[in-house]
Amino acid sequence: MDTAVTSLLYLGVLLLAAKLMEELFGRLNLVRFVGPILMGIILGPGLLNLVKLNDIVSFIASLGIVFLLFLAGA
């Protein structure tokens, strides 16, 4: 498979799983934005290594971190 197609597939899986975890944390009355972070740790190279890092995924992840820090007010 092409790197761009694989990266889009990884990002789609991450987005879907992150949204599901965000909804779960919301229903449990926990802090909602911690859910996607936890899901990224679980699916990424930190635990299960289902999503392999490449240049595209790494760039999008870095961009997401910057947005998260912006929303948190840092």
pTM of the model: 0.78
**pLDDT digit string (tens) for 16-44?**
999 999 999 999 999 988 898 899 899 98
* Domain tally, the chain: 1
C-alpha 62/C-alpha 3 separation (Å) is: 18
**Host domain of residue 25:** 3-72
Under 8 Å between Cβ of 50 and 1: no
Which band of pLDDT confidence, cut at 50, 70 and 90, is reported for residue 74? Answer: low
Q: Across all residues in the chain, what is the average pLDDT?
A: 89
Is the pLDDT score of 1 beyond 70?
Answer: yes
> Minimal CA–CA distance to 14: which of 54, 41, 33, 46?
41
